[in-house]
Amino acid sequence: MYNQLSITTLALLLLLLASDVAAQPGVFNIRKYGAPNGDITNALKSAWKDACASTSPSKVVVPSGWYTLQQIDLEGPCNAPIEVKVNGKILAPKNPYHLNGQDQWVRFQYINFFTLSGRGTFDGQGEMAWKQNDCGKNTNCKSLVMNFGFAFLNNSVIKDINSKDSKYFHANVFGCNNVTFTNFNINAPETSPNTDGIHIGRSTKVKIINSKIGTGDDCISLGDGSRQITVQNVTCGPGHGISVGSLGRYPNEEPVVDLTVKNCTLNNTDNGLRIKTWPGTSVVSIASHLHFEDIIMVNVTNPVFIDQEYCPWNQCSKKSPSKIKIRKVLFKNIRGTSATQEGVALVCSSGVPCEAIVLSDIDLSFNGSKVIAKCENVNPTIRRKAPICMRPHV
């Protein structure tokens, strides 16, 4: 009798506890908004609306399962810190024209103290779109859709989320301040065009740490107005490497200042650490205080590359040199293997030559021999060991 009463009491307590957890304030589970497995667009909008209106910290939960999602904007300002926790797999429409003509599939914007978390995956199902992508050759191409847009976020974190097979860039970061990406993993085949991992523009204090990024384009790229950016403990490959730029193509571009890339590995990428600017334009700006240190290269085609003659598909004229001033750049402790003999190429502008470029402890080999360096319109400072420039001139 005593044991039976104890068991009954315990069962009641567990039931009460479970119901209390399920109904805990501040948690907005999309399943309570009519979203079993299937399309969750309306449920997610409703859950976000209620969570954003909460005056105490709130969490929108997408539990384990497979879901589909149409294009969605999740906007603030919200009344308190807000988190979206995704544990399921979410699929975008395969057809790129079923996304309302928007630039991003899932867009978070105008939010303070925002967190996107969970172990879930956002799958852009980009294969159909990649076959239609001719933007490399056609300047009037139809724009495709990125998996994520993060715009005007402050003091926010994106962690433990996976982005797969975006139709275009995986994540665009714009107008943000103090945003950290950690364990944000990106996966797309190397044959997927223009699937940049994370592109940053007009943003300050963005950190990308402890992440793996494999794409068909730049793993990380910095557009104009990027300031105080940190990239640390990131593995890149396949892809086109970690790039500053391209810069100088559009009017009214802002400087890129204060970048640190440290403790990263680039594995079989088309480029390693690259700074690229367009010639043949009238845009005047600057890229300064760029610090690359403790980088491992594994069979990288262009491990260290400043390219101020960047002009893909002959979309510009090289007759007029780039007007983007590159200065105060440090390449330190760069080691590993190059897929080309010319492992260091510093091709600077004849109009505004590079200044204060430092090569320190560059230990790269090609087929068992040390790489060589090509230098144009720059006279780098060599510290400790680094390949000597072939005919450097200013």
- What is Dmax (Cα atoms) for the chain? 96
In this prediction, residue 133 has a pLDDT band, given cuts at 50, 70 and 90, of confident
Nearest-angstrom CA–CA distance, 185 and 212 = 5
Coil, helix or strand at residue 95: coil
Would you say 87 and 64 are in contact if contact means Cβ atoms under 8 Å apart?
yes
Residue 22 lies in a domain: no
pLDDT at 334 over 90: yes
- pLDDT tens digits, 286-315: 999 999 999 999 999 999 999 999 998 777
Residue 234 lies in a domain: yes
Q: How many domains does the chain have?
A: 1
**Cβ neighbours, 10 Å, residue 39:** 13
pLDDT at 205 over 80: yes
| pLDDT value, residue 138 | 67
Number of H-type helices and E-type strands within the chain: 3, 31
Residue 46 lies in a domain: no
Quick one: which of 165, 155, 131, 159 has its CA closest to 77?
155
Range of the domain at 156: 59-390
For 311, the token pair is 């002009």
For 145, the token pair is 């859709």
| pLDDT value, residue 11 | 42
| pLDDT value, residue 23 | 46
- pLDDT tens digits, 107-126: 999 999 999 999 999 999 99
| pLDDT value, residue 139 | 65
pLDDT at 201 over 70: yes
Catalytic one of 240, 289, 291, 393: 240
What's 358's domain CATH number? 2.160.20.10
Mean pLDDT across the stretch 372-382?
96
| pLDDT value, residue 19 | 35
Residue 312 lies in a domain: yes
Residue 5 lies in a domain: no
| pLDDT value, residue 318 | 80
Residue 209 lies in a domain: yes
Q: How many CA atoms lie within 13 A of 3 on its CB side?
A: 0
pLDDT at 2 over 70: no
Give me the chain's average pLDDT, please.
91
According to DSSP, residue 45 is labeled H
pLDDT at 184 over 80: yes
| pLDDT value, residue 36 | 74
- pLDDT tens digits, 217-248: 999 999 999 999 999 999 999 999 999 999 99
Residue 327 lies in a domain: yes
For 314, the token pair is 């002959």
Residue 23 lies in a domain: no
| pLDDT value, residue 5 | 37
pLDDT at 31 over 90: yes
In this prediction, residue 15 has a pLDDT band, given cuts at 50, 70 and 90, of very low
Active-site residue flag, 199: no
